[in-house]
Amino acid sequence: MKNTKQTTSTLLMIRPKHFGFNPETAENNTFQSKELTDSPDEMQSKALKEFDHMVDQLRNAKIHVLVIEDSDEPNKPDAIFPNNWITTHEDGSLITYPMFSKIRRNERREEVINHLETDFLFSNRYAFEHYEDEHQFLEGTGSMVLDRVNRIVYACLSPRTSIELLDKFAVLKGYEVVRFKAQSAGVDIYHTNVMMAMGHDFVVICMDAIGDEEDKEVVLSMFKKTGKEVVEITIEQMNSFAGNMLEVESLEGEPYMVMSEQAFNALTDHQISKISNHAQILAVPIDTIEKYGGGSARCMITEIFPPGNKFL
């Protein structure tokens, strides 16, 4: 079944119980700050306020947000980033993914999956997590930026993004893979979605992070082929999470580009104008979540694409 939509008005977000710094993810997530200036209780308290405010802002824009409370045990410092362990698709399928951090594997919760299957009628479950035993990882829409309409998956390779699993996903879902290496300061970028965001008819991307000229040509030619306007950002802007955005839509069909205030403040007036030509910008303050979690607005959202295009 071909996807008919790039964006959705139905979002899943996990309200955290124990947000905090995860040393396992900091091993290859250079966006995380290791300067722990807040206590664990302060981190959780600040993150909770940021999360609740973000949900309010989305709902005020008439975007449907399904909020599920994190379970108290076991402790899951990154539960606020569910997009890494689950994706949903219009053909009625739901996929769960293998995670690099052992602590993060606890985020996969059967009650969340059962909730989605019951409320949205997802009927096909595919589980990739057994590949953790082979030390192969593919962290959902962190590892993969999906052009759902044109059935293309873009991915920068890293310890969290396996070539073999990318190919398995592509065969399963009928996607073409565009993979490349992307680095910042000589270190592999841990997730594709911190350097690239796919909109319905535009894309935000840090081309400077792609070192190989052939890779750049392939990526740009694919954007041209699929009619995407390219909004380029710099490495410095990427490091302020300006690549970690997500286009969603309201229940009335209005497009919104969700990003953090830090990301918005890093953009130039020209970049803001180009993005605003496609979607209204919704910028939310999530400084604590970005600092200690190393992820931003896009990472906090799992898109729900109900089967048969039956959107709320």
Check residue 37 and give its pLDDT. 77
Domain-located, residue 4: no
Cα gap 8→14, rounded to integer Å: 17
Domain-located, residue 145: yes
Distance from first CA to last CA of the chain, Å, rounded?
A: 20
CATH of the domain at 69: 3.75.10.10
Tokens at 171, concatenated: 């065969």
Name which of 247, 250, 246 is nearest 65 in CA terms.
250
Domain-located, residue 1: no
Name which of 10, 4, 51, 22 is nearest 294 in CA terms.
22
Cα gap 22→77, rounded to integer Å: 6
Parent domain of 267: 10-309
The mean pLDDT value of the chain amounts to 93
User: 238 and 291 in contact (C-beta within 8 Å)?
Assistant: no
Please state whether beta strands 302-303 and 10-15 pair in parallel, antiparallel, or not at all (unpaired): antiparallel
Q: What single-letter amino acid sits at 174?
A: G
DSSP-derived 3-state class of residue 12: strand
Taking every pair of Cα atoms in the chain, the longest distance, rounded to a whole number of angstroms, is 49
Domain-located, residue 202: yes
311 has a pLDDT exceeding 50 = no
Domain-located, residue 141: yes
Cα gap 290→262, rounded to integer Å: 9
Cα gap 274→228, rounded to integer Å: 12
Please state, for a pLDDT cut of 90, what percent of the chain lies above it. 88
Domain-located, residue 2: no
- In the block, tokens 């410095």 appear at 236
Check residue 312 and give its pLDDT. 44
Instruction: Place 294 in a pLDDT band, splitting at 50, 70 and 90.
Output: confident
309 has a pLDDT exceeding 60 = no
Check residue 38 and give its pLDDT. 79
User: 47 and 13 in contact (C-beta within 8 Å)?
Assistant: no
For 164-220, how does the pLDDT look when each residue is reduced to its tens digit (9 = 90+)? 999 999 999 999 999 999 999 888 999 999 999 999 999 999 999 999 999 999 999
Name which of 104, 14, 77 is nearest 51 in CA terms.
14
CA-CA-CA-CA torsion sign (143, 177, 195, 268): negative
CA-CA-CA-CA torsion sign (252, 258, 264, 270): negative
DSSP-derived 3-state class of residue 216: helix
Tokens at 218, concatenated: 């392939």
Q: How many domains does the chain have?
A: 1
For residue 306, cis peptide bond before it (omega within 30 degrees of 0): no
Check residue 29 and give its pLDDT. 53
24 has a pLDDT exceeding 80 = no
When computed from its CA atoms, the radius of gyration of the chain, rounded to whole angstroms, is 18
For 227-278, how does the pLDDT look when each residue is reduced to its tens digit (9 = 90+)? 999 999 999 999 999 999 999 999 999 999 999 999 999 999 999 999 999 9
CB atoms within 10 A of CB 253: 10
